[in-house]
Amino acid sequence: MSGFEILIVEDEHAMRAVLRDNLQFEGYRVVEAENGRAAMDRVRERMPDLIIMDIMMPVMDGIEATRIMREKGIWTPVVFLSARGDEIDRILALEIGGDDYITKPFSIRELLARIKVILRRAGLSGQVPPHALVGDRSVDFGTYSVSLPGGKRFTLSHLEARLLELLMKEKNKPVPRAKILDEVWGVGAYPTDRTVDNTVVRLRKKLEDDPKNPKHVLTVHGVGYKFCE
């Protein structure tokens, strides 16, 4: 048995049943909710290890529920499920604090692989300090947050935090895209170089004064990226 507990948030009973049966077969403990509001109640009661969150639901959708949880300091990894595959929808879901986004219809095997990657990497390795300064911005890896001197605050997704941690661990050294894909996403997640680039773009918006002319998360052409203080 894995020992991990997963919350399924899905308004369609048949889909919940499919997810529940497959997760339980893999050894996960499963909790269920039919909308975002019920999901927040389950999170307060159970504090699951991961949430599978549908987006389009009655009462409260998955985006709003996740936004509220992040504002309350709840950083449980969230995997979004959605029938909408537009890039803008994916970006919104990740920017408000989602950790992954899977478009319906999807492969159960792929979902299970992504869940394993996220759970395996959910704990930061401790090889960089829990608090770090990037320019005048304070990064808190414990709460996945970036704070500016004036009090403005950004939240980091799990993937953004993992990416930043890896680059900081290899400070001033180019980190190849292949290594980033392997250590941040894992081979079971089937990401692409474009996925890395999009995550870097989001990370720069939170770390850099001028994201188009970055000083800290730099592109190493033909290789990947590197972090500079």
> Reduced to 3 DSSP states, what percent helix, strand and coil does the chain have, rounded to the nearest 5?
40, 20, 40
- What is the tens place of the pLDDT at every residue in 138-157? 998 878 889 998 889 998 88
What pLDDT is recorded for position 1?
43
Kindly tell me the sign of the dihedral angle through the C-alpha atoms of 140, 50, 92, 185: positive
What pLDDT is recorded for position 161?
87
**Are residues 50 and 120 in contact, defined by beta-carbon separation less than 8 angstroms?**
no
**Cis-peptide, bond into residue 105, ω within 30° of zero:** yes
Q: Please, what are the domains in the chain?
A: 5-120 (3.40.50.2300), 131-227 (1.10.10.10)
Kindly tell me the sign of the dihedral angle through the C-alpha atoms of 127, 129, 134, 137: positive
| Residue that has been written with the tokens 């991990």 in this structure | 4
- What is the tens place of the pLDDT at every residue in 15-58? 999 999 999 999 999 999 999 999 999 998 888 889 999 999 99
What pLDDT is recorded for position 128?
57
Closest to 44 (Cα-Cα) out of 3, 4, 76: 76
d(CA 216, CA 171): 10
Task: Indicate the DSSP class of residue 80.
Answer: E
- What is the tens place of the pLDDT at every residue in 64-107? 999 998 888 788 899 999 988 777 888 888 888 888 899 988 99
Closest to 23 (Cα-Cα) out of 102, 113, 83: 113
Q: Which positions ≥6 away from 68 have C-beta within 8 Å?
A: 40
d(CA 188, CA 70): 26
| Diameter over CA atoms, the chain | 50
What pLDDT is recorded for position 126?
45
Task: Indicate the DSSP class of residue 182.
Answer: I
Strands of the chain (E only): list them: 5-9, 29-33, 50-54, 78-82, 100-103, 131-134, 137-140, 145-147, 153-155, 175-176, 217-220, 224-227
